[in-house]
Structure formats: structure tokens, C-alpha cells
Chain A
Amino acid sequence: MDNANVTRRDFIYVASAAAAGVGLAASLWPFIDQMNPAADTLALKEVEFDLTPVIPGQIVTIEWQKKPVFIRRRTPEEVKAAEDAPLGDLIDPQADKDRVQKPEWLILVATCTHLGCVPSKEMKGEFGGWLCPCHGSHYDTSGRIRKGPAPKNLEVPPYQFLSDTKVLIGAAPKAGAAAEHHG
């Protein structure tokens, strides 16, 4: 008779402790969740950019969701270098065609995937893309990590070409946008 010592009072103790535990956990949640991005921060979803002034070879930095975004008008040589890089050489293998909608326009979140610095536009690194000044990560002309401590390629944000000269950063790409590249 193991249960001889278990009384109805024990049940009440366990039940009230469990209810208090759940209540405490539930009341903690607002204090934790208040630190997540607020509604006005989340509302900064899309930003439109006019591509007309960007000349071939130029990189411009714009702001989207408080993050810097690179818009790079790649030269044919840069496109070729990105397309020709053997996938086997890559730390985070991804084909260039999967990172662009139009080969000429490379659009990337300009946040180093190591510790969040903005890779330098002036120092292009060993692969002609970007060099992060903080801890020496080298990115190629597709924004893929080639050397250094960063674990991943520069992120491609969602974007949509509104016309040949206008791009909307933050919007889901139009269906079939990638097909344009595949020809």
C-alpha cells in the first residue's frame, strides 16, 4: 500500500503549486516579449529605390528596416567572376543565379554574417567583392563568403523590380522573376 500516505491534501498542494507555476510563467511573458521589435518597428517593411543614378561598378548603401542594404550594379567581369566560381570552393555554396533576379543588379543586406559590421565598399578583399573591416571576412562579387570567420553568405533581402529602374526592397519577388535570368 504505497499510496496509503498520499492524501487529498497532497493533491491540493501539488495542484496549487502547479497553478502558481503556470501563472508565474504566464505573467513573465509580457516582461520578456516587450523587448521584441514593437509594432512601429515592424511596420518599416518596404523601401523603394530608384536605380537610374547608379553607374556600372558602383555600390550604393541604403537603409531598410534599420539595416544597411547594398545595391551593386555589377560590371560584366564581376558577373562572370561570380558565375564562374566553382561551387566546391565556397564555404556556403550557392549559385550566383540563385542570388540575383537580374545579373546586373546585386542586392544584399550589408551586414557581415560574422558579427554584424558593414563590409567595406573601398576595401574589396581578395575576391573583388567586399572585405569586412572588423574581423577580415572576404566576400566575392556575389556577396558569398570566401575567406574569414563569417559562416554564411551576405543575405539577399526579398525585393521586387517594379520597373527596369525601380526596385522595392522588402516585397516578395514577383512570380517568375528568377525565370528572367534563366532565359
Chain B
Amino acid sequence: MYTIGIDVGGTNTDGALLFGHDILAVVKVPTDHEDLVGSTRAALEQLLKSCPAGAEIELQLSTTLTTNTIVEGKGTPTAAVVIPGPGLNLDQCGLDLPFHVLSGYVDHRGRVIADIKADQAVDAALEAKRQGAEALAIVGKFSQRNPRLETAAAQAIRGAGLEFSYITLGHEIAARLGFPRRVVTAYLNSQVAAAQERFIRAVQELEEFRTIRILKADGGTMTLAQSRQRPIETILSGPAASVMAALALTRYTEHNVAVVDIGGTTTDLAVVVGGLPVYERDGAVIAGYPTAVPAVYSRSIGLGGDSEVHLTVEEGRASFTLGPKRAGKPACLGGAHVTPTDAISALRLAEVGNREQAVAALQAFASPHGLSWQEAAQGIVDAFVHQLCQAIHAVYDELEGRPVYTLAEFLEKPELMPQVIACLGTPAPAIMPAVGEKLGLPVEILPCSASANAIGSAAARPTTGITLHADTALGQMSIPEMGLFKEIERPALFDQRRARREALERLVEYARQSGLDEVPELDIVAEEAFNIVRGFRTVGRIFHIGAQIRPGARRIRVKEGT
């Protein structure tokens, strides 16, 4: 089976062709922002040359489409209709989007305490339309415990003949607790749905592929059909692709790995524990919007090969700081600025561009401060190493400080600290050995850095997960990801074993629906069980189970000379 991975990035579109575990070819073409499908096509055409005619090919795509649509504010005009019930005043949530409030609410157990008023829903939708909204998001507090109010509001609006190009219901898009994030996620989902739809149609006209899958922020893939319903999950697939590439290429498959991807403007840091990526606790943040979209944990710092260089001299001591902004093209590559890349070039840490130009630029930069170019270059490299080490420490401090809610988790804290640093990016071989020395860790320079995102896209596997919440006192069970809300049969007999079995069986069913032919390993990733005691008597139990397909990447071998 042939696999083509394509990452349509901000500057370049990368492609990689795989046969099984082997890379056959990689390509790079400039990205045309007005025509992402065209960029995809250009990369594809080159890769297909290395592929026998008529071969079965699966295509895995990572694009900046939804990310750009949101960042540039080019999505469909959308409004949110919200059912917040009592609690935090919505005006203080920092919701930076148009919303209309309905009365009615569901409580934390999923009981409807007050119904919505249908005419209020219709009025809200009319008002939204009047203000120019073409798509809607309808989101209630605790709707993942009981979606009835969201569904009723949608019915009322559709029943009144009001047409919207897309309506996202909160419970369909965000199963986790967190109402404001659910509102934002549903809102953005509606906003990007039309753009995704156009993209899907264009992609389907490209070629005959066995399957086409789209990369998600969590580093997994989904089918085109799924991406129609949940386009928001394709945001930030670039950083996810780089983590997937590291997982696919590293020799340390069972270890704790710090993943460092050094680019021109930024360096991205990600964390792998025991061979599995660490995820954001609450969801991805995009363009300042906190969302509930599951995402690979990734921190971007303003430090890269093209970063600005600042020099301060105090009491005869020179100190360098780099970034956070990009200075521009390095002098050695014909630019006008001194950058870390020039320091690397001048010190012969790597062969980049024209070394004479780098030395000249460094000299011009350093001599007014009474420094030699060598001192300046070494100072810049040291600053790079220092800032990167600090950022790595900050990442692990943050993860170590994540709260836990049980004694077991508190006492048996998993070891997160890295055993090795795996790195991507052109400046990595020049910089990372010093970083590894400083942190006391071995450094692995991953091959094929330049095409990492395409390799990551190709290596990604479908991910999918569900959250089962069962309340035997109320006799109700929900799996919002599957739109499943039902009565528990014989709730008195529904115990933890049954809850677990139910979760795993449903996950298999969901995985099949998601287009997975064979179901890989399943993991229970979260499990809670509580007795519900009222008046000193146990009246039921609450089970909360998170189950997922074990995430991971296809292993990829790089042959000599690729």
C-alpha cells in the first residue's frame, strides 16, 4: 500500500510518498494561499511520478485551511445561541463572539430544570440573521449530559423556516466539561464549515484514492465525511504533524522524549511519555480562542534561525537575547540582519549560505560594542541554547504542575521527565548537542527534517475516543461523541464492569463508523466511579469513562540517500 502525506504549511507545501514503512520520495513546493488545493495538486503530481500507475494509494492531508480561515476572520458570519442557565455571568466569560441568550437549563447531573421557550429561540435566530449571521451554533450548559434543550432549540428554529448554512450543536462537538470552550468550539465549527466543504469537494476531484484522510490537532486522522461534521478538529494540524513525525522517526519508541522542532521564526516543543504524545489538558487555543478541540500538547516560543538578536553591554559584560520576533532573512542567505543562522554559519557549526557574508554582518554588529565577531557568534549560540533550555524547563514545570484529583494519581505520579531529546529543523544539528549537554540528555537528530510535517501526516493513524457518563440513579447514559443518550437497561445491575464493557464496545462501533476496518488497541484513559448517597443510603452510582484508540504513528524508515 502506498501512502502520500501532504502538509500544506504557511510557506511551503511538503509531500512524502511512502510504501509501507519506507519513504520513497519527498517534495517541496511553495504554498499558494489563494489555492490550497492547487498547492496540494502540485505536490501530488510530483509524488505520483514515483508511484506505479494504478497502485492503490491512501492520501493523508494536513492543511492550514481552517486555521487560516479563523486567524484571518474569513469564515462564514456566525452567531451563537446559548442556554447558560445559572452560574458565571456570560459577559465576564470573555466570549469574543456574538451570542444570544435563551432561558432554560440543565443541571450537573443532566436533569432539565427548566425548558427553553421555542419562540425565544426563534426570536434569537431572527435577531442573529438580522445581524448578518449565516451559520449558527446552539450550545447549552451541561448539554453533554443532556442535549434535549439544544435539540429543541434547533428544531424550533428549523421549524420556523429559518435557514442557516450550517448549525452546530454543542454536544456534538465537545464532550468535555467547559461551557465557554464548547460555545467557542461550536461557533468556530460553524464558521469554518463552508470553507471545509469547498475544500473537500475540490480534493475529491483530484485523483482516485483508496481513502482520503485529514489530519487533526490531536495528531490523528479522520475521514473526509467526519471532517465535514467536525471541521474545527483540523485546526493546528501543522504542530501535530511535527510531533507525529518525531514519533514515526525516533529510535526511542518506548521512552519519554522531548520533541524540539526549530524553525525560522519559532521553536515548537512537544512532549512524549512512554511513546505516547501528551495532550492539552482542556483543548487547543487558536487565535486567542480557547477551544475544546483535543490537541497534541505543543508550546511555541519566539526563537528560531531567523530571530532578532539583541545585545546589551553592562559593566563591560555583553549579554545576548534572541527573539521573540523574526528579524528577517539571515545575512548569509542574502538578508540584511544578523540572526542565529549567521552565528551558526560563521562558527562552521553547519554549512549555511555564504559564510563570508555571515562573518561580515557579525563583525559590523559586534565591533561598535568592542566585541570580535567570534565572541558575538558564540554569544548568540550560547543565548539560543540558554533560552531553549529555559523553555524546555518551563514546559516540564507546567506539565508536572497539572492538578490531579485522586490520591492514586497524586502518589503514583507518572514520570514525565525526558530521557532523550528528539529534534527536527535545519538549525537543530548545530544547536542541540549543546542543549543536550546542558540538560544532561542524549540528543537524537531526526532525519528528513525538511519534510517532517509531510512525513508526520503520512504516518498519522486514525484516532477516536469516547466519553461515557452513566448515572444509575437517574437511569441514564450518554456518549456525546456518538450522539448517544439513552436509558440504562436495568440500572441496578449496571456496575463498573458493565460500564467499562459498554464503553469499549461502543468505541469499537464508533471506530467502525469512523471508517476503521480493523480496530487497533483500545485504552481506558480515564475512569471515575462514585456512589450516590442520599439520606445515608446508596441510591445509585455514577460512572465516567474515557476510552480511546491508542494514538500513535506508523514507524517510518529512512533509506540512505532519500
Question: Does B bind A?
Answer: no
